[in-house]
Amino acid sequence: MPELPEVETVRRQLEAEVVGEVIEGVEVRKEKMFVGDPASLKGEKITRVARAGKYLLVYFESSRGLIIHLKMTGRIVVETSEIRKSELDYFMAKHTRVVINLASGRKIFFWDTRMFGYIRVENNLQDAIDNLQKKLGPEPWGISDTAFLGKLKKTKRAIKNVILDQSILAGVGNIYASDALWSAGIDPRREASSLSRQEAKKLLASIVRVLDRGLATGGASDNSYVDAYGQKGSYQNEFLVYRKTGEQCPRCGRELVRVVVGGRGSWVCEGCQR
DNA sequence: CTGAGATCCTGGGGGC
DNA sequence: TGCCCCCAGGATCTCA
């Protein structure tokens, strides 16, 4: 699932590939996944690609721009000489929902099996980003232990639901939440307000650590994620507990179990997560 | 106000 | 081989 490390990986690559490119036209194959008038993008020049939480932000030279969310199975892939024809054919297959044609002749593919993701045209991108930021909490690197603890103390919700709440902390998804909670030795079902200062500090440090590890490995390609070059990341090879039902806890050896928290699968060691 | 649950969607996998 | 059902989960919506 594209979470912060996956989206950031795509952002870096997309920025490296498409800044300076001018949009020639947009081919929308799935109406619901493109919000706005595709024809209006002709002539827009891309100047910057940024990110807010799990949202990709594509700036144009004008005040306009795009907000992209990959949701669960979205992929953004840029046509480059490194991507072989066979791979492009694959991306062009039935799950390609939008194709952005660039004046240089290259293409940006928006591929999404489950069609939860979207590209939205914003006539005033900065205003749209400002509104988006109001709904997003800080990224895990940008919050103090004290401020994090303060947020936890305010709610009786399960700690896992709280760290997945984008208005509290932006960028964490199910994979990194499960691994960070294991790393910090905290049971995902714990009431958030019950965490001690020490536990909150440890959890925040664990979240930062797993996200950094995700970034360093190019993200998790557990099922459908690939980067902007169509390549898999490798964080899935270092999952701590995510989707490891029945395997041994790396810390205490007890069998890991899957529990459901907030309707989501969560992997936990009931021996060393309290 | 909070928090829980449904919803959008398709494909993969297990059971029989 | 085929069919059914469960599962995957980010954000948004409804409802208690």
Mean of the per-residue pLDDT values of chain A: 91
CB under 7 Å from any atom of strand B: which residues? A 32, 94-95, 113-116, 154-158, 161, 262-263
Q: How far is the CA of A256 from the C1' of B5 (A)?
A: 27
Nucleotide C10's nearest residue (CA vs C1') is A71
pTM reported for the whole predicted model? 0.95
pLDDT tens readout for residues A14-62: 999 999 999 999 999 999 899 999 999 999 999 999 999 999 999 999 9
Nearest nt to the CA of A175 via C1' is: C9
| A235/A217 Cα distance (integer angstroms) | 5
CB atoms closer than 10 angstroms to residue A37: 11
pLDDT tens readout for residues A92-134: 567 899 999 999 999 999 999 889 999 999 999 999 999 999 8
Residue type present at position A242? Y
Nucleotide B1's nearest residue (CA vs C1') is A155
- Left if phi > 0, otherwise alpha if psi is -120 to 50, otherwise beta: which for A272? alpha
Catalytic residue positions of A?
A: 2-3, 54, 264
Q: How far is the CA of A81 from the C1' of C10 (A)?
A: 32
Q: What mean pLDDT comes out for the span A188-192?
A: 93
Q: Residue A111: CB partners within 8 Å, gap ≥ 6?
A: A74, A75, A76, A77, A91, A95, A96, A97
Share of chain A above pLDDT 90, in %: 74
pLDDT tens readout for residues A200-217: 999 999 999 999 999 999
First vs last C-alpha separation in chain A = 27
Look at residue A204 in the predicted model and tell me its pLDDT: 96
pLDDT tens readout for residues A240-268: 999 888 889 999 999 998 888 988 888 99
Q: How far is the CA of A60 from the C1' of C16 (A)?
A: 44
Q: How far is the CA of A197 from the C1' of B9 (A)?
A: 41
Q: What mean pLDDT comes out for the span A158-176?
A: 93
pLDDT band at A226 (very low <50, low <70, confident <90, very high): confident
Q: What mean pLDDT comes out for the span A134-141?
A: 92
Say which range, A81-90, A131-140, A164-173, has the weakest mean pLDDT: A81-90
Nucleotide B4's nearest residue (CA vs C1') is A262
Nucleotides of C under 7 A from a protein CB: 7-12
Among A53, A105, A99, A59, CA closest to A76: A99
Buried b (16+ CB within 10 A) or exposed e, A158-171: bbbbbbbbbebbbb
Nearest nt to the CA of A177 via C1' is: C9
